[in-house]
Structure 1
Amino acid sequence: MEQLLLEILSLDAYRSISYYVCHLTLPLYRHFGGIKWNGTQNYLKPLVTETRQLIERSGISQETILQHLANDISNSSYLFVAQAILVYAVPIKLDDMQRYNIVTRQTSLPKDIHIDDEILACALVCYVLDGNRYSEWDFNIIVPEEKFFYPTNDYHLTKVENIDFRQSGFIFDNKYYLYNIFIDRKPLHAGEPIPAVFRIMQDGVDISKADLLFRLDERLAIELDKAEICHYEFFEKFYGPSFLFSQTRLERAKNITVHYDPETFNKLLMVIKRDYDTILNEEFWHIEVEQLPNIAETYKPKYVLTTFVHGKYYPIRKAFRHIDFIKNEYSIEKYKQKHNGCSNSDISIDYYTETKDEHYKIWCIENIDMSEELWYELTLVSLAPKYKILFNEMLEKI
């Protein structure tokens, strides 16, 4: 397996695609976050085609590749990529537990299941690119490798007209160029579709009457009809179903969803557990929302405190009958394992405090029907600002 990975890294197409991927600024495993496969991205196709050939020549089994992706502790997100592959790359429907057991080596991949070769190769390419990011940020290396199609001045800038700014890049001459990595892409105001610098520029000057020059490196360009241009918030879904109240589809007794901020790697965890109210003779769900801050290696305290909001949701009533606010305390060693969420760790991401004292309840309201909107508002105001967007993502409110 290691030899195969080295061969992918040594492919001629790898370096330029790695440079392009780095300018996307987002991890590639996000391509496996949807409920269906949308095809290999155009910029990855040359590398995926060659990787399929390498896999075939290597003789390495699909099961070996799948399980290698899932069990790399340096990038636990691929545990969920591996499970996603078993959703849309095999002809047989497997449930959550079957998929999890296969990718974590607890059971074998059934002999009659063949994984779609392109999807598996694409996942392996994404895994290699995510794990080996372009890092040669030396202009003495970068500049000689840049490719320019249009006339440039002495500083490699090209005069452009009729430019269409987007969030992650711009459209010029029927091509979509990713912004240079040194351009901050965050908007001036939440929800705006272009970076702040270009919003300010557009508002402050008539660009059509000015000379606007850009560094048009063709390595960052793709034909417009092949480009995938979309707007995204600066937070990313990690894995798990969205919570849509009574419309939520729960495949298991316990369902885990994680969203995270790719800049800080802070995570927001939601655990949904089925239960039954014997007094009301009605099914209800425990809805647990917990902030999981990323802890630096230099963190000195022995314990980590997290914010935890628990609710009991009755889907038939479309109401909550219990909401409480809690602070959880974890030892630093166990918390780091919890935050990492690796499949081969004794402590998973939904690990719970060991004593009631460590599950420090501060307020609770219960035994009355409370609206979905009330639970949403109480939970939202209980979260720190950076987690509010993650929470809204979970509920598909953004």
Structure 2
Amino acid sequence: MAYLEKKDAIILLQDGTIFHGKMVSTQNHATGEICFNTGTTGYQEIFTDPSYYGQIMVTTNAHIGNYGTTDFDIESDSVKIAGLVCKNFSSDFSRPAADKGLFEFLEDNNLCIISDVDTRALVSHIRDHGAQNAIMSTQVNDVDQLKKQLNDTPSMKGLELASAVSTKEPYYFGDENAQYRIAALDLGVKTNILRNLASRDCYIKVFPFNATYEETLSFNPDGYFISNGPGDPAPLVDAVAFAKAVLEKQHPLFGICLGHQVIALANGISTYKMHTGHRGINHPVQNLENNKGEITSQNHGFAINKEEAQSNPDVKITHMHLNDDTVAGIKLISKPCFSVQYHPEAGPGPNDATYLFDQFIELINTTKQETI
């Protein structure tokens, strides 16, 4: 399916910088925090990852769309990014397994797409000046009006977005006859996380972002999981209360990305907004417990306070990001709980960290034995 005739378009950043490109979508206007992902593959998984909700995505790979889309590569029920900015957008694809082209897939989701952008210059600007709000539009001759709209766009700092992507009602995933029962708090969970748990003989009940610990008890879970998701972790008071209740009862608890930040907050460790964040599939992490390196998939714009984690007597830092020395994983000394800032389920990305799901199962088995 050929895409529409290209129209002149601009990307206006909060600091007043303008980048020019061509609009290739029917939807011709979008706002959100602009960020970039350095992955060379996996664009469909990225675009449907709930952690990117409300963000304009700049892809550093020069070609986007050339291998189409498949139903299997969808990480949620719809496209979650606010807009796409790329260098070369292809409506043609050559992947035999593809169900449709990327243009058709994004048009079905009413996504704003700008191509023919100098993405190297744009990414360099974001890297130097930080992730910030932006507006993409075909109103190239009305910059003053766009600036007014941009000023009305809320900052990602302090913004609660989990409620926009979380399930409204509990649902189940996996085989109900599986050995382990997991209660998952959905802050924006990726489907591949649930697949990884189900493949390890888990039956998962997924709860809304504001579920209480008491609401999970009838499911009689063997372990608890807090998912990834978008936005600032600080406003998630219900999720923090959920984590505190699980920890107080000494249940096994595993957190990923936003879930990792929620667990940190539940233990008195603050979070902060990063300059640009980590978004890509080749981020180096060191496992401090075995001194091995991992190449990881990451997607986050907030991190936990390293000094506060180090000074907390019940917290042990288990993983560190080797590029900027930020905390990439922690575990609690007195409670059966651990979390990581990155995505062990990948999708897209390497499989270096899938052992963490096995570690979660081991934690469940150990906790069961200790309570017998």
**TM-score range for the pair, normalised by the shorter chain length:** under 0.3
Relative contact order higher in (CA < 8 Å, ≥ 6 apart): 2
Query: Which is helix-richer, 1 or 2?
Result: 1
Query: Which is strand-richer, 1 or 2?
Result: 2
TM-score, normalization by structure 2 = 0.23
Compare CA radii of gyration and give the structure with the larger one. 1
TM-score, normalization by structure 1 = 0.21
